[in-house]
Amino acid sequence: MAYETFKVLIIDDDPLILKLYSKSLRAQHYEVIEATNGAEGLEKAFREEPDIVLVDIMMPEVDGYEVCSRLRTAPSTADIPIMILTALEGVAARQKAYEMGADDFVTKSGPAHNIDGYIKMLIKRRILAHTRSWLAELPGSVAADYSLRARLTAGLPLAACYLDLDGLADFNARAGFPEGDRILWQLARILQDHIKKGAVGDFVGYYGMDDFIILTTPERAESLAQSIVQSFDAVMREGSGGLPTAGGFPTLSIGIVIVEGNQALHPGQISDLGRSLLRQAKAEPGSSIRVGRLS
């Protein structure tokens, strides 16, 4: 995508700031969408699918921190780059912005045209992340980490499901990598189908190699995992799409981490337990699910 086609959403309650930055960005061939408050900005972010969001912090009712948090917890906007554009300075404001999911923090004291370089850097980073998440257009690891952090920060009910295909390397050695990629693609489609049928707000992402993640609610996690395993095993038993059957197919292991309570947790604690549960599941024959809790 060429720079001149990038779509920038600017959210600020100061009309002079909106005019200044909109004029500068349009002169640099960006498409600019304006929003005069946080609620309007969120509505336009979900509807217009911008390539990047520039948002002020100090706004009435829905401030910039809340905008960041809600964009990060919504699957459709979880990986959109967010730049805080504010008159505030200091470590505390900057730190809180990053905790709520912002990618960059730029003060309004500099010339408006200077933000062009920051915008291009953030969009390039997103493009690179997406080149590693080609499977059925699933979000990649960057979006998954953003969404996990945002849900923890917001204190939302959380279950993180870590999925791993067992035996894919052996299958690739027997049948070839294109056939292994077909299995990965089939699993990605199964995950997407189950998420679409479920609760609004569920997130599914591809971490790379043979690893996936689902973020959902604690009450939904186990039944969702069981349904996914049943669908995947059924597809593999049928040898869907003419896949080679000699030597068997990969199986699916899932480690589910249930976060109980709103206590502060680091994402690393969740992923560590998830990987431990995956190892337990992989030790069992066939597809398997293990559940653990952090409280």
Q: Fill in the DSSP letter of residue 261.
A: S
- Structure token digits, residue 71: 């964009």
Q: Is the backbone of residue 70 left (phi > 0), alpha (psi -120 to 50) or beta?
A: alpha
The predicted structure's pLDDT at residue 132: 46
Q: What is the dihedral of CA 105, 110, 112, 116, to 10 degrees?
A: -60
Pairing mode of beta strands 158-166, 251-259: antiparallel
| Cα angle 156, 294, 100; round to 5 | 35
Cα 108 to Cα 21, 42, 147, 253, distances in angstroms: 10, 22, 28, 49
Domains of the chain, earliest start first: 3-131 (3.40.50.2300), 136-294 (3.30.70.270)
The predicted structure's pLDDT at residue 145: 84
Distance of alpha carbon 276 from the chain centroid: 22
CB distance 77 to 126 below 8 Å: no
Residues 6+ apart with CB under 8 A from 91: none
Interval 78-135: pLDDT, tens:
888 999 988 887 788 888 888 888 888 888 877 777 788 888 888 877 765 654 445 5
- Alpha-carbon distance of 232 to 252, in angstroms, equals 8
- pLDDT tens across the length of the chain (295 residues): 344 478 999 999 999 999 999 999 998 888 999 999 999 999 999 999 898 999 999 998 999 999 998 898 887 788 889 999 888 877 888 888 888 888 888 888 777 777 888 888 888 777 656 544 455 567 777 778 888 888 888 888 899 999 999 888 788 777 777 778 888 888 988 998 898 876 668 899 888 778 899 999 999 999 999 999 999 998 888 765 455 555 578 899 999 999 986 666 788 889 899 999 999 998 888 899 999 998 7
Look up residue 11 and give its amino acid: I
CB distance 97 to 64 below 8 Å: yes
Entry pTM: 0.61
